[in-house]
Amino acid sequence: MELGLAGRVAVVSGGASNIGRAISLALAAEGASVAILDLDAEQAERVAGTARSCGAGDALAVRADITDPGGLAAAVAAVTDGMGPVEVLVNNAGWARRSRFLDQDPAESLKLIEINLIGTMNLTRAVLPAMVKRRSGSVVSIGSDAGRIGEKQEGAYGAAKAGVISLSKTLAREYGRSGVRFNVVCPGATVPDLPEHVSGSSLWNQEEYSVYRDPATQDAIARHYPLGRLGRPEDVAGAVCFLASERAAFITGQTLSVSGGYTMS
């Protein structure tokens, strides 16, 4: 299917690592111009280099923190100056920390909400006015099945992701007539393929996530997935490219799980 993304300008937050990296490269392979916005500037630059070599119209690495609205305004201005107006926004940057609710330091809960929900709001605020002005745009945010069904040890994280889903539905209603669509993709467990595919600030560098690299743990998780395996970053990237594209022109306010059937509704 021709997605028609060639020449489109896309911003991918957290585009330097794992799922965001795969999304950036998939958009690049469709010929889009991709801005890889991340805390880790060096890894973002490496992904931008790979994006250029796999067909991107253009690729730009931009160091920015989605919890800093002032910095985001400058980052989006740099993208617009360098590549043109942003037509696709992928709110992918996120952070996770596993802990039972009462065991989690409230400051940690706040950080999870600040990055996953407030960060998504901040970047959307920085990009949306120009989309509304041009009466065209597609925003795809990365949620989580934890935000749909609730998962043990993911209280604040899941609440933030549920917030991303609710926010996207509201924005879909508010800005549909302005030509802007909002959808959410919820990955299941998606372990990085290779250590060099994660950034220095990836959640996968945390000790508590090393267990997911253990084949026995992966088998145990896969048993809960009707399709019998864990997710791959490319699985998520395919869904994001479709929703970002004009092929999804009549789809807005939707939440799509890419988790092998783990969550159905």
Ligand X SMILES: NC(=O)c1ccc[n+]([C@@H]2O[C@H](COP(=O)([O-])OP(=O)(O)OC[C@H]3O[C@@H](n4cnc5c(N)ncnc54)[C@H](O)[C@@H]3O)[C@@H](O)[C@H]2O)c1
For residues 40 and 47, give the distance between their C-alpha atoms in angstroms, rounded to a whole number. 11
In whole angstroms, give the CA distance from residue 3 to residue 116. Answer: 28
Q: Active-site residue among 157, 175, 209, 212?
A: 157
CA angle 116, 122, 123 (to 5 degrees): 90
Beta-ladder partners of 255:
184
Q: Is 209 a catalytic residue?
A: no
Nearer to ligand X, 9 or 189 (CB): 189
- What's the farthest any 2 CA atoms get from each other in the chain? 51
Binding site for ligand X (CB under 6 A): 13-14, 16-20, 38-40, 64-67, 92-96, 115, 119, 142, 144, 187, 189-190, 198-199, 201-204
Least spacing, CB of residue 187 vs ligand X, in Å: 4
To ligand X, the closest distance from the beta carbon of 109 in angstroms equals: 15
Nearer to ligand X, 104 or 199 (CB): 199
In the complex with ligand X, which residue's Cβ is closer, 119 or 137? 119
Closest separation in Å from C-beta 20 to ligand X: 5
DSSP state of 29: H
4 vs 49, beta carbon nearer ligand X: 49
Q: Please report how close the Cβ of residue 226 comes to ligand X at its closest, in angstroms.
A: 17
| DSSP letters for 127-176 | HHHHHHHHT-EEEEEE--THHHH--TTBHHHHHHHHHHHHHHHHHHHHHG
Catalytic residues: 157
